[in-house]
Structure 1
């Protein structure tokens, strides 16, 4: 049986600066389920010219308002702004989108139950539906005062013993002298802390967070107050955590545009990697390479805060298993993340005994994947506003585009017209970057060390409050505004952060105004 607790021992694969060498070329990391039409040499040249960063800021660029190309949707003024199907979805595929939406919102129940299509919850879990974490398909929420978090939990792992049996992937890491630390799920609590349980099964514990205020002086007599979080697991129900347990908080990210990010050619992402900072700009960027359980081979990591999943389907299956305790054809352990130390959880009734085979079957998982792949990206607002244009110029001048790459062109796809050959503006390079000690969780994941995070896409970020009812940003929601999120940047982004601190207040305000227009 497979379940995501095994991920930490399988996710990493070494990539040298020169490529995969004897293990194959970069093309081996592409998404094999996408029916890609190869680009011609002339087409590749035209694309390179189109995605080259602009040098003029007196007007919006052509097509800039349509962040997702033809898949862009109208920017709505209510909380449904992130819940619309791709703007170019064919009519005959809308039913699949709506059924997938229903499964995304469905509340799962414990087994045994008369509702055979909905049983299998837990026994330990964080939420009863996907929608409970991805609020209105947007961001989760960190705890505020007495409120409980929604769509936020703690990842957990421990260092692997030096004499632990190595997987095939770890053996390869050793053979090429990769220094990625080896980790394992916590022997008692698995890969994440699940704070809820079905009747008779107590949740594993509660996440407690405390904040310490840190004042930061800005130019022009302005200042900002950052909150420094500390996390702990309180009231552990199944015994103490391991002494060397590593905890990392994670907020559920927004869902829009995932299919378009999946359709970006791997070669285009890898072309931006500069692990040795050969160009001397202070920004490196490393590719995350993860193990695909669907394909049984390494693939480029794209999804999650540390790019720990290669495809939308595997990301969805991992969330079903870890967050809800629902087995699928990808991760078929019916007890989800329950460990051998949690015998009652593993022995409890589950919902995979009928014709489904697993608690969500392949058809259901594929419908949720289709829904997730086709959540439309809202159009930009105020692209020609002078303050927005000045903010865009500041964004480029400050060096933000070193990680937040503005544009890509997706692959030509025979069977995915919604994502096929679109000029998109996600503002991410989908690479791992060292973000400094302030944001470090000190918990390795795959090739990502304890200071590295994947550059998150920025499209739609200005609609966060409208959709999710809050303005909490970063992987743990510590930033209460876009400015606070910027001020937390360190490591490779420290020089850019310093420029923001020292720039004239009017430019800083224009930068925020630009981000709010995305």
Structure 2
């Protein structure tokens, strides 16, 4: 059976105790726990967390326990972001409001961060010194152009350039390839990571634009095939299968064995609350060997933090490749826009040593800022991204929604899409501090089967593993973004299609949905639309 929230909370307590003892030199076995010994770096918070008391831990376990009664909403369920929730607007700005509990004196930082998030960068040299440094290769000219209205990216239409989806690229590492810091760390823990490297010419992702004088790296191409599925009750559903291509390569052929993986820009809401979930609460849900036999074997992504110079728990990105919002933001500035920052200071972005002209092109660094976006600017963008409020639930007391919630739990969806947490107490982040939140994710890696596989490893994730995405805001996605494009590459045109793509560890839940009576299936979708 799926692990209950109370069981997970109990495991969380054991991990916290183990972490405290590990920090003082004792082992997990000395703590009286059967949990495997963990490196303290994974649990040591980078935020100013205030330790929980024993009384708080017990109270939290009761609060996050799974529901037993589906006849009415749970207490505080209307506010998925806790006190940071915002009212549900009926326009495209529903994802662009600041945390509902933000102190007035911090609103200015949010608005300035929003300005930097929307700012269009220009190529160097330019008289607009505060905005020059674009590229030389890039996917977009601003954060907002990928995350339009802070929502999801979209697939390009016929003849349209890709603006909010791109291809990541890597090649297998050879036997003589130097091992990275994270690989050395994982091997020291007994892991055997699948070693890959950026393409020696094209780097870690493909950019489809170049500034004047620089050839774009590629043009995104895709072919679609279609499959019709028969569902219980005589209903049918059509799935579209993509085959992604890198067309019009501008810098020669890809390296042998090159692996491509599409990445659609995700929505931005609630990121600060996800960052504030205690690492121990997430690690407590790991079960890599499926010891309890429930078919769910999630495991944590472990990444090297360039910001903190140590291994950390990955939380952000489709395969949880970034540990913090600040580092994820800096990586996007570098890879997507070609903008240097204190974390990734290369002024040429993702250009490789083989792209000599790209590295030699003019850039915007070297003035008083030092990098093309300085520490203050990066902090403001981080603050903005951390504080995009989660809209309140709609129709949560509708009988169909309540029935759909019960179906969600009975199907086993909550085994990966963990409904709720209580965030850490944070001394310097009042908006995220000690909030009961409902993101519906465990932020762990799960095998999703061959249907969704990109066959490209990333860190600990293999080619079939993906991070469980949060579900909050699903029902407003089309209102904000003007389309429905779900999953990592936007292939699902509806929530039902997204469910039907689930395989691997989620195969049983997916099959349960297929066998439901049509009205029960409709109730499940009504519940998801209410999130």
Q: TM-score when scaled to structure 2?
A: 0.92
Structure 1 portions without partners, runs of 5+:
1-17
Preserved contact between residue 151 and residue 481 of structure 2 (Cα < 8 Å)? yes
| Paired position in structure 2 for 1:241 | 254
Q: Is the 8 A contact 1:142 1:472 kept in 2?
A: yes
Structure 1 residues 425, 176: closer, same or farther in 2, change over 3 A? closer
Question: Who is 2:46 aligned against?
Answer: 33
Q: What is the alpha-carbon distance in structure 2 between the residues aligned to residue 166 and residue 271 of structure 1? A: 29
Pairing 1:99-118 to 2, within 5 Å after superposition? 99-118=112-131
TM-superposed CA distance for 1:165, in Å, is 1.8
Match of 2:288 among 270, 275, 293: 275
For CA contacts below 8 A with separation 6 or more, give which structure has more relative contact order.
1
1:26 and 1:266 in contact (8 A); partners too: no
Could you tell me which of 467, 483, 486 is aligned with 1:470? 483
Question: How many residues in Structure 1 have an aligned counterpart in Structure 2?
Answer: 501
1:171 to 184, 189, 205: 184
1:305 to 318, 322, 327: 318
Aligned twin of 1:517: 530
1:70 aligns with 2:83: yes
Q: What secondary structure, in the 3-state scheme, does the structure 1 residue paired with 2:56 have?
A: helix
Matched, 1:228 2:247: no
Aligned 8 A contact 2:41 2:310 in 1: no
d(CA) in 2 for partners of 1:494, 1:197: 42
Measured after TM superposition, the shift of residue 24 of structure 1 is: 7.3
8 Å CA contact 1:26, 1:267 repeated in 2: no
CA contact (8 A) 2:183 2:193 kept: no
Matched, 1:390 2:403: yes
Which residue of the other structure, out of 386, 402, 415, is the alignment partner of 1:373? Answer: 386
Instruction: Report SS of the residue matched to 1:100.
Output: helix
CA contact (8 A) 2:453 2:465 kept: yes
* CA–CA separation in structure 1 for the residues paired with 2:160 and 2:275: 35
Aligned to 1:183: 196
Q: Deviations over 1:393-452 (max 9, x none)?
A: 000000000100000000011110000000000000000000000000000000000000
The runs of 5 or more residues in structure 2 that have no matched partner are: 1-17, 29-35
Hey, what's the Cα distance between the residues in 2 that align with 1:289 and 1:167?
13
Q: Which moved more, 1:100-109 or 1:26-35?
A: 26-35
Q: Does 1:404 align with 2:399?
A: no
- Relative to structure 1, the CA distance from residue 30 to residue 94 in structure 2 (aligned partners, 3 Å threshold; closer, same or farther) is farther
Deviation of the 1:34 alpha carbon? 1.2
Asked if the contact 2:341/2:372 (under 8 Å) is kept, the reply is yes
After superposition, the C-alpha distances for 1:76-128 in whole angstroms (9 at most, x for unaligned) are 00000000000000000000000000000000000111111100000000000
Query: Hey, what's the Cα distance between the residues in 1 that align with 2:416 and 2:392?
Result: 22
Query: After alignment, is 38-47 or 27-36 more displaced?
Result: 27-36
d(CA) in 1 for partners of 2:325, 2:189: 29
CA RMSD across the alignment = 1.5
Question: Which of 211, 216, 232 is the matching residue for 1:203?
Answer: 216
C-alpha separation between the residues in 2 aligned to 1:168 and 1:436?
29
TM-score norm. by structure 1 comes to 0.95
Answering whether residue 165 of structure 2 is matched by residue 152 of structure 1, we say yes
SS at match of 1:192: coil
Aligned partner of 2:175 in structure 1 is 162
Contact between 1:69 and 1:423, CA under 8 Å: does it hold in 2?
Answer: yes
- Matched-pair contact (CA < 8 Å) for 1:404–1:428: yes
